[in-house]
Structure 1
């Protein structure tokens, strides 16, 4: 029976790349995003998918409803990939306190709420998996990255804590730590950069899907850098 994988932030550059790579592997997909679902943007060749748009994952009740709906549709969930999030560059002096609140909501609360909703279903899987997106920048923050890096460090700590909490249940919890991802938005923001040095969404997707697979049973609590040549 094909595995069931839930992707948050599914319509973004990375979420779309992961969904397409998973579809090629014949994985059933539950796609969640704050943006409204667009049937024309569903991954090509997917066996079965449930796409839910307009889901505010900062709301724990909304997260639970979305996860439960996908679990009901497929009869369970095997893996959760927390890709939903946000980015802000802002120096602390003269910056807004709301930036810190926003980064916490978009990066930590979305992952925490999705995990809490998914855990009961993942415990019933033969190989439950959680894979989140942290940030290599959170290991040593540079100027203007305080709020973003702090929020991604929260994702790292959530990953390590949940790995310990779920170890006895056979559910693994890991995070990938990308550097700059080669997306259209990043190219537009940094037009003079060497794009070939950045990590490609397909490269990051491959690592995430391995961690979400049955074969990755021996890896949990890991924070795995996927940084290209940056």
Structure 2
């Protein structure tokens, strides 16, 4: 059986983090080539052997359209094309409205929603030249039902969901699919440190989420667009 992403060139934002690294590895495992974009200057620690040939683009501010355009231009210049974009760049803060800082709403909007919109806009020209363009966004289960202290985060991720839906309608007759995954709690070292008494085995493993994302990038998902797919583990 042929590899699902054989020959596809995929840009991943937030790629130096736990999920970004898992997604990048899965893309290569499925036969694709990956460009790894991140705000950090370089990955922490040793890069996995599987990613030895990945194009690394560090110190990229994806809240800036000019910076995003430059990164996409470098990908096309060095790899020859761009077939797909995975928007992982983002972050989290837990704050109640009463005790929190209103600046958190602007911060989470910028890193969760604006980065996805900016990267997508910058990539559109290249994606439209692909025979099977793909955009996959990382939303959150909290975008559908929020909880205490989750307001700013959930609002920014709800924006990602609406961006996914609207952009899928905009592009559905132009050969580009746009979908989002909505994870619950991802099993990362930071989340374990923040919730040490939780049942970690109920959380979503980064590799499992990466497999869903890989499917959405693949030719097998050509009929799926505008979908908001819960990936909840057993939370």
Whether TM exceeds 0.5 here: the answer is yes
* 1:120-199 paired onto structure 2 within 5 Å: 120-199=125-204
Aligned CA RMSD, in angstroms, stands at 1.3
User: Structure 2 length as normaliser, TM-score?
Assistant: 0.95
User: What's 2:124 paired with?
Assistant: 119
CA contact (8 A) 1:26 1:47 kept: no
Question: How many residue pairs get matched?
Answer: 230
Is it true that 1:93 corresponds to 2:102 in the alignment?
no
| In structure 1, C-alpha distance between the alignment counterparts of 2:133 and 2:64, rounded to whole Å | 23
* Cα drift, residue 21 of structure 1: 1.4
CA deviation map 1:6-25 (0-9, x unaligned): 00000101001111111222
Q: Is contact 2:16-2:44 (8 Å) kept?
A: no
Instruction: Tell me whether 1:20 sits opposite 2:31 in the alignment.
Output: no
- Aligned equivalent of 1:81: 86
CA–CA distance in 2 between the matches of 1:11 and 1:228? 23
Q: Give the structure-1-normalised TM-score.
A: 0.97
> Which deviates further from its counterpart, 21-30 or 184-193?
21-30
Q: Is the 8 A contact 1:136 1:225 kept in 2?
A: yes
Whether the 8 Å CA contact 1:172–1:219 is kept in 2: the answer is yes
Aligned twin of 1:227: 232
162-171 or 44-53, which moves further after superposition?
44-53
> Would you say the 8 A contact 2:8–2:32 is kept in 1?
yes
Q: What secondary structure does 1:45 align onto?
A: helix
Q: Distance in 2 between matches of 1:166 and 1:154?
A: 18
Structure 1, unpaired ranges of 5+: none
Distance 1:13 1:154 in 2: 23
Structure 2: distance between partners of 1:7 and 1:94:
35
Q: 1:161 aligns to what SS in structure 2?
A: helix
Any idea what SS the aligned residue of 2:214 has?
Answer: helix
Structure 2 residue 217 is matched with structure 1 residue 216 = no
Give me the whole-angstrom Cα distance separating, in 2, the residues matched to 1:107 and 1:196: 26
State the Cα distance separating 1:138 from its structure 2 match: 1.1
Deviations 1:91-123 (A, max 9, x none): 001321100000000000100000001111111
Q: CA 1:47–1:3 in 2, change beyond 3 Å: closer, same or farther?
A: farther
User: In the alignment, what sits opposite 1:29?
Assistant: 34
